[in-house]
Homo-oligomer: A and B are copies of this chain.
Amino acid sequence: MATGLYVGRFQPFHLGHLEAVKYILGRVDELIIVVGSAQHSHTLDNPFTAGERITMIRLALKQAGIRPDRFTVIPLPDDEFHKVWVAHLLSQTPSFDVVYTNEPLTFRLLKEAGLRVERIPMFSRKKFTSTEVRRRLLTNGPWKELVPKAVASYLKKIDGDERLRDISKSDKAG
């Protein structure tokens, strides 16, 4: 039985992420989804807490009909030392066989540590990026079409767009 690992910040979780999860679940039996930069929230790049991001992922995967025994979600804070991040990741997660990522630095750090790493095909990457979702949330653009319906409802419920606009007016938002 193979276990995969998928790392992202999920700020917020969008349809491209959902496609990636489905793609990986076609290749492994079980998936560990790691919510990176878990310590951050309330900044322009990281508006949502780890708890909120875990909630989004669970709502989206439930709505997509993915069986709950096939995935688990783990928050992971950044490590100031990039070279130490892989050891940190290994200590906070159940064991796994392969990591899926397209992020070049993550890919390299995992490779340098001797792990098996594979890339994920791009699902209209141009359109489905968290950066674009955040931009539309901020500017009142059509952001709902970029995220799973369950995530759209949740973001409305927690006033995600209003939070981003408040953050954008702050000089502490870095």
| Stretch touching chain B among A17-25, A104-112, A115-123, A142-150 | A104-112
Q: Which residues of B contact A84 (CB under 8 A)?
A: 79, 84, 87-88, 91
Question: Are A51 and B95 touching (Cβ within 8 A)?
Answer: yes
Taking the complex as formed, is A40 at the interface, i.e. its CB lies under 8 A from any CB of chain B? Answer: yes
Chain A interface residue count, Cβ-Cβ cutoff 8 angstroms: 52
Q: Which residues of B contact A49 (CB under 8 A)?
A: 83, 91-92
Q: Which of B38, B62, B92 contacts A51 (CB 8 A)?
A: B92
Q: Which residues of B contact A80 (CB under 8 A)?
A: 39-40
**Contacts known (A54-B72, A68-B68, A167-B104); A43 close to B82, Cβ less than 8 A:** yes
Contact with B along A26-56 (1 / 0, CB 8 A): 0000000000001111110000011110110
Taking the complex as formed, is A166 at the interface, i.e. its CB lies under 8 A from any CB of chain B? Answer: yes
Give 4 nearest A-B pairs by CB, closest first.
A105-B170, A87-B87, A42-B82, A104-B169
